[in-house]
Chain A
């Protein structure tokens, strides 16, 4: 039996889809860039024919992903950047987010039980829950010897 590590499996999944490049935005690692990022996603998603409700959902998912990266991966270092490539496949609009911070797979975080969350008046930890709820597929490839940036692809079906 042959064993694959997680990265290999995800890379195979990526190769099986053909991603067409649409546009690129480079943002610095600070929260004030979030408005610019949201407008970028929204403008191109509209042009690409995604419907308005799905655009709102995707914009929020990308905001949550980038807020998390800026905080935990880039650690508010505004000399570092987040590169966002917009792509599409035959039936999905894709936001490809790349950073050179610490690798962090959003799929590794369990969604909270909201009833318990409110009972305990907890705070935070909801961004990734939103991210997972509002996208159709998430592909995560941590940086490695072959690529110097972490890649997070958020896919939204047309």
Chain B
């Protein structure tokens, strides 16, 4: 577990998939912590990643940038970042910028795991 002033990051590994739960506020101050966390996963070739947003209260563009930093490399290695359980408030920020074009944003873990198992990559649009 890793805690900063405003963001807590927890990772659980299940059948080769890393589920990263983020709790709190993802802004310009806390974004580098999540970025390092994902970088560590990618560097150890853990490239099937699900981000659980259920406890995330707030996101700004610096938070969105974290996912843009790694997605190209992860997809080139046949992995993906999938996102689950966003609150309406957090989803509205992703939606405002069209992020559902690039990412799978799912209701729950089962949907995201199904997509990994069936090699479904990319957004819904």
Residues of chain A having any CB pair with chain B under 8 Å = 31-32, 34-35, 38, 56, 60, 63-64, 67, 70-71, 114-115, 118, 121-124, 126-127, 129-130, 133-134
CB neighbours of A129 from chain B (8 A):
61, 97
Hey, which chain B residues are within 8 Å of A31, CB to CB?
A: 27-29
| Contact A34 to B28, CB < 8 A, known contacts A64-B61, A126-B64 | yes
Mind listing 14 A-B residue pairs with CB under 8 Å? A31-B29, A35-B6, A35-B25, A35-B27, A60-B60, A64-B61, A115-B101, A118-B102, A121-B72, A122-B68, A127-B60, A129-B61, A129-B97, A130-B61
Question: Which listed residue (B68, B93, B101) contacts A60, Cβ 8 A?
Answer: B93
Residues of B1-33 contacting chain A, CB below 8 A: 5-6, 25, 27-29
Q: In the assembled complex, how far is the CB of residue A36 from the closest CB belonging to chain B, in whole angstroms?
A: 11
Inter-chain CA distance A121–B99, complex, in Å, is: 11
Q: Known contacts A35-B6, A60-B60, A64-B61; is A130 also within 8 Å of B97 by CB? A: yes
Which one of B6, B27, B68 lies within 8 Å of A123 (CB-CB)? B68
Question: Could you say which residues of chain A place their CB within 8 Å of the CB of B71?
Answer: 121
A118-B98, A129-B97, A133-B96 given; A70·B68 CB < 8 A: no
Among A32, A60, A123, contact of B69 (Cβ-Cβ < 8 Å): A123
Neighbouring A residues of B89 by C-beta, 8 Å: 56
B29 touches A34 (CB 8 A): yes
Does A67 contact B72, Cβ atoms closer than 8 Å? Answer: no
Chain B binding surface, main DSSP class: helix
- With both chains docked as a complex, state the minimum distance between the C-beta of A124 and any C-beta of chain B, in angstroms: 6
Closest to A30 in B: B29
CA distance A30 to B98 in the complex (A): 29
| B65 contact set on A, CB distance < 8 A | 123-124, 126
What does the 1/0 interface line of B71-104 toward A look like (CB < 8 Å)?
Answer: 1100000000000000001001100111001100
Min C-beta distance of B91 to chain A, whole Å: 12
Known: A122-B68, A124-B61. 16 other contacts (CB 8 A): A31-B28, A32-B5, A34-B28, A35-B5, A56-B92, A63-B27, A64-B61, A67-B61, A67-B62, A71-B28, A114-B97, A118-B102, A123-B69, A127-B62, A129-B61, A133-B96
**Cβ contacts under 8 Å, A114 to chain B:** 97-98, 101
